[in-house]
Amino acid sequence: MMPYSENGVKVHFPDNNYFSFGACAAYKTINAHGVKEMDICWMDNASDILWCVELKAFDDPTNVKFLQQDLSSAEIIKYWIDELYKKTLHTLCMLETNRSNTQTCIVQGITNQTAFKLVHLINVLPGQETWLQFIQDELLIMLKPLIAIYNVNSLTVIPYSLAKNKAILPWII
């Protein structure tokens, strides 16, 4: 399954300690009810960090189903803030409760001390990278109570090209 890719946005974790709610039977049973998920999660046991990663491509002309996303449109940016909010919220809920059997989806080693780091890697149109800071700021405001409840260590929205070119995280390719 590695590298994991969505429309050309790629990650490659150094070991097999990752999971995807989207590939899990328990998630598939609740997905029909509008439940969202972040694309892939990796448990870095050495650092005791669970990385939850969303991969989005707002600029991928190689995908025949692709609809380019112009973040200068208030309507489009509102939609994506809401979408990323739901994906983040629902992922945190599935990580922390087993009422829908989603604990069967996750890897071993996550404890109450495990740091949660949420990363939204987004491939944007050239010149629209600055909009991602606005999206991140809005998400942090909306998720503030949940960040406290779930003790989330960080939430970032990063332009994929910057993350890839600057090697911000070694598993972003």
Of 103, 84, 67, nearest to 143 (Cα)?
84
The domain in which residue 113 lies consists of 4-165
Between CA 51 and CA 43 the distance in angstroms is 6
DSSP single-letter state for residue 132: H
Query: Is residue 173 assigned to a domain?
Result: no
Looking at residue 46, what is its pLDDT? 96
How big is the chain by its Cα radius of gyration, in Å? 16
Looking at residue 4, what is its pLDDT? 94
Q: How many CB atoms lie within 10 A of CB 135?
A: 19
pTM for the whole thing? Answer: 0.94
Please count the structural domains in the chain.
Answer: 1
Amino acid at the residue 55: L
Tell me which H or E stretch contains 49: strand 49-57
Query: Is residue 86 assigned to a domain?
Result: yes
Q: What is the pLDDT along the chain (173 residues), one digit of tens a residue?
A: 789 998 889 999 999 999 999 999 999 999 999 999 999 999 999 999 999 999 998 888 777 777 788 999 999 999 999 999 999 999 999 999 999 999 999 999 999 999 999 999 999 989 999 999 999 999 999 999 999 999 999 999 999 999 998 889 999 99
Query: Is residue 171 assigned to a domain?
Result: no
Query: Is residue 11 assigned to a domain?
Result: yes
101 in the Ramachandran plot: left (φ > 0), alpha (ψ -120 to 50) or beta? Answer: left
